[in-house]
Amino acid sequence: MEYSVSLPRPELIQMADIVARDKGIDKESVLIAMEDAIAKAGRSKYGVEHDVRAHIDRKNGEIKLARYIEVVNDGEVENEITQLPLSLAVKKKPDVQVGEFLIDPLPPIDFGRIAAGTAKQVIMQKVREAERTRQYEEYKDKVGEMINGTVKRMEIGNVIVDLGKAEAIVRRDELIPRETFRTGDRIRAYIMDVRQEIRGPQIFLSRTCPEFMAKLFTQEVPEIYDGIIEIKGVARDPGSRAKMSVISKDPSIDPVGACVGMRGARVQAVVSELQGEKIDIIEFSNDSAAYIVNALAPAEVTKVIMDSDNNHIEVVVPENQLSLAIGRKGQNVRLASQLTGWHIDIVTEAEEAESRQKAIKQRSQMFIDALDVEDVIAHLLVEEGFQSLEDVAYVPLDDLSEIEGFDEELAAELQSRAVRFLERKQAEAATKYQELGLDESLTSFEGIDSDVLVKLGEAGVKTLDDLADLATDELMEIAGEGVYKRSEANDIIMKAREHWFEDEKAETGDTNG
């Protein structure tokens, strides 16, 4: 390349070395920033419209300045200052090709006060950009780690943390309630997120997330660090109370005891860091019922009634354990629910007995009315686990005849009555559907019984699309109190919407699912 050359300036190389070490960035990035600054100063002198470029010799600091003119095809010149048609370019350089540049050397710049100031601004801007890139690259892979820093300043309740090579922020809602920090304090936190934003990389820390507590225990308990004990879950009410479940891969090691430590030393170290947060450490179990009972400690549980399909469990406790199981403002049951992933209802033994008796009475009355039998027979059916008329109508006859006090003749008669009742009810429902104008797409939809279908029709819901348009609360209200749980109603609506997605796939030609 042909450049006009200035005298060697080794101080430029030295300056680049100092800035690179001070900012922790690559020396080459600093030199490129200097070249951009010199080029900008050159454009200020020779014309901002020109393509002026600078080069600093990496060994001796010599500055070379030149103007670049791009060679383009005749008739394609868009900028007469930075481009030249091939027919004129060959007069200056016979073998020049389209796409190449003609290089005109320029005299070295004598930096004036303004030019030097401009160059300094450009250099600092480029250095800051390089520093931000370096920070992002360094911390983006550290998400999920715990880090130590120093409080640099406070901003509207947020804590700005000096990490040494970068700044991070602990937002007010990620601080443990009532904890305070002052400038210069040491702080430990969990790296939640690192984002590349216009103003530079933003490093977000947290002291309230469950992962922070898990990391603290990993530091305090060697068995967790070594992988012998595994933390299965953490639920926190920051600054107040927490629950953590652990499991040991070595049968000879007690996971709870290891986390508590000798005289509670290990757990106390974590409690101190978390501003006195009370921590319940429980043993994880693959048996969901046992796990939930453990999670509700210190409350004692009498029995549990599980609904696995809806991830719901009813926990029965003695009257004197109710407040302990629920906890202050529902804290204990809420944390247990977060930890296990189950929706937990707490009831007393008396409430459970009353509820059970009510359900038995309702089912018995249903059998009495539908089968025209005495309450003794109805009660026996309920006690044997028969919950609906369909159970009686379509169960193997032997299952009925084996009930104590029943014989084959009675069993056959009961089954016959159940079938006739269901057929009569189905016929009445079909007539009602017709009167209400219910579409077959709705009446043939599985999962909704005839009584609810009638209620839907009376409410103006007459097609599958009408059902799909309903909100969960609307379906629950139409069906009536106690007919559907929220999860059941939501599942029905989502199932009713499935044909929408299938239609969309057909329209877009997506057959891959």
The CATH topology of domain 143-206 is OB fold (Dihydrolipoamide Acetyltransferase, E2P) (2.40.50)
Q: 27-76 pLDDT, tens per residue?
A: 787 788 778 878 887 787 788 888 888 888 888 878 888 888 888 888 88
Under the banding of pLDDT at 50, 70 and 90, the label for residue 410 is confident
Least Cα distance to 248 among 293, 278, 282 occurs for 282
Structure tokens at 234: 């953490």
C-alpha span between 418 and 411 (Å, rounded): 11
Helix locations, 389-485, DSSP H: 389-394, 397-401, 408-436, 440-443, 450-458, 464-468, 472-479
Residue 401 has pLDDT above 50, yes or no: yes
Q: 200-239 pLDDT, tens per residue?
A: 778 899 999 999 999 999 999 999 999 999 999 999 999 8
Q: 472-512 pLDDT, tens per residue?
A: 888 888 888 767 777 788 888 888 888 877 765 556 555 44
Q: For the chain, give every domain's residue range.
A: 4-135, 143-206, 437-513
Q: 289-325 pLDDT, tens per residue?
A: 999 999 998 888 888 888 777 788 888 888 888 888 9
pLDDT at 160: 92
Helix locations, 111-209, DSSP H: 113-139
Q: What is the mean pLDDT of the segment spanning 452-465?
A: 87
Q: Using a cut of 0.85, tell me whether the model's pTM lies above it.
A: no
Give the Cβ contact number of residue 61 at 10 Å: 20
- The strand pairing partners of 195, in sequence order, are 202
Q: Are 159 and 181 in contact (CB under 8 A)?
A: yes
Least Cα distance to 132 among 197, 64, 56 occurs for 197
- The pLDDT mean for the chain works out to 83
Percentage of residues of the chain with pLDDT beyond 70: 91
| Torsion-angle region of 161 (φ positive above 0: left; ψ -120 to 50: alpha; else: beta) | beta
Q: What is the mean pLDDT of the segment spanning 112-139?
A: 66
CA angle 319, 384, 373 (to 5 degrees): 110
Least Cα distance to 495 among 474, 473, 464 occurs for 464
Q: Which top CATH class is 4-135?
A: alpha beta
In the CATH scheme, what architecture does the domain 437-513 have? Answer: Orthogonal Bundle (1.10)
Q: Which residues contact 280 (CB under 8 A, 6 or more apart)?
A: 241, 242, 243, 244, 297, 298, 335
Location of structure tokens 């997330």: 209
The per-residue DSSP string of 182-194 comes to -TT-EEEEEEEEE
The per-residue DSSP string of 262-286 comes to GGGHHHHHHHHHTTT-EEEEEE--S
C-alpha span between 240 and 262 (Å, rounded): 23
